[in-house]
Structure 1
Amino acid sequence: MARSTRSVDWGFPRWRSYGAEREAVKVRLCDRHGCDQPGDRPAPKSPNSPDRWYFCEEHAGEYNRNWNYFEGLTAEEAAQREADERRDAGGFAESKHNSWAGPGDGSRSRDEMRALDVLELDPDSDFEAVRGAWRKLAKENHPDIRPNDAEAAKRFQAVQTAYEVLRAAEERRQWKPD
């Protein structure tokens, strides 16, 4: 008897499930040296470059933790790039009120992070902790408590400014559009 060379999925109806082709499926491996997992998560090789690395989930997480967008730039160039991108990111600024992410995971601005440093708090501190730290530091450095102390007056001003920045950010997060 002659061997049949006819495929079982000719015509209609299709006799096999979709994706059950006979050809081998090409799987891209993780670009990390020595890793044999599928590399299905793209990551940029450098800023503003179309070239991509393809990592597995574990190595993509490691890559993202170590990514420094401003690497190789001077402080002035980094500030200029940040200002340019803030000016061009109007569409993203409209969705700030959605609060998709929690504090400490990139949802705080650079000014908020500096304010938290002034108040000696962690990046994931809630507003009650901010208020408590502000009251404690304001009492310690108040000009009425420490008269004729220029350093205490500067620290008091810094604490007040930090609290104002964080209060305004908290009010923006609390505001929900109609």
Structure 2
Amino acid sequence: MSSMLGARPEGTDGSDHWHRESIAWQYRLSSINKSRLKFDIFLQMLLGFLMFMRLLPALSALFGFSFQSLRRWDLPAPRPWEYAWIISISAAVLGWRSTSYNKSFLLKQYMLGTVVFGLFPVLFGFIDVSNDLYVYITERKYTYVMFSFPAILLWSTFLFIAAQLHVFGLYFSSVLLKAWKPRGKKVQ
């Protein structure tokens, strides 16, 4: 063994470090995909905040509140898939909490909530807006306007972004579940 002040053993220049200790693959994968999943969930929550602001006039009217400033927004009535999609934010919170202590149960709940309240409403939303989008593409006609844009473009953009975020979140979650799987003894 060589000391800091002593000579290096003969026959080595220090480049033989590849066989020494390294971080196991599951810990490396866990670290990388945790940060990816957290960023994905952050973007989902940001999208959820935008959807909440879009639904705020309808929600306030639903609960009997009347705000004059919300009426000035002049937004079209919310579609059913928008109400269902906003619930997926609660699943995103579960996914965020699962990454702190490698809680597989919470991560599985996140995945289930993402499929049920994230992907299914997005799929239903694509079906719901497909006719309007076709009419807009072929004839440049649209029914609703939101923030001085055709609402069909905003809905389609939202659905496209949400679908990508949910698919990436499910992929990162499945990689994390594989990395967090307990390692048992091999049975011979």
TM range (shorter): 0.3 to 0.5
Larger relative contact order (Cα-Cα within 8 Å, sequence gap ≥ 6) = 2
With the length of structure 1 as denominator, give the TM-score of the two structures. Answer: 0.37
Task: Normalising by structure 2, report the TM-score.
Answer: 0.35
Bigger Rg, structure 1 or 2: 1
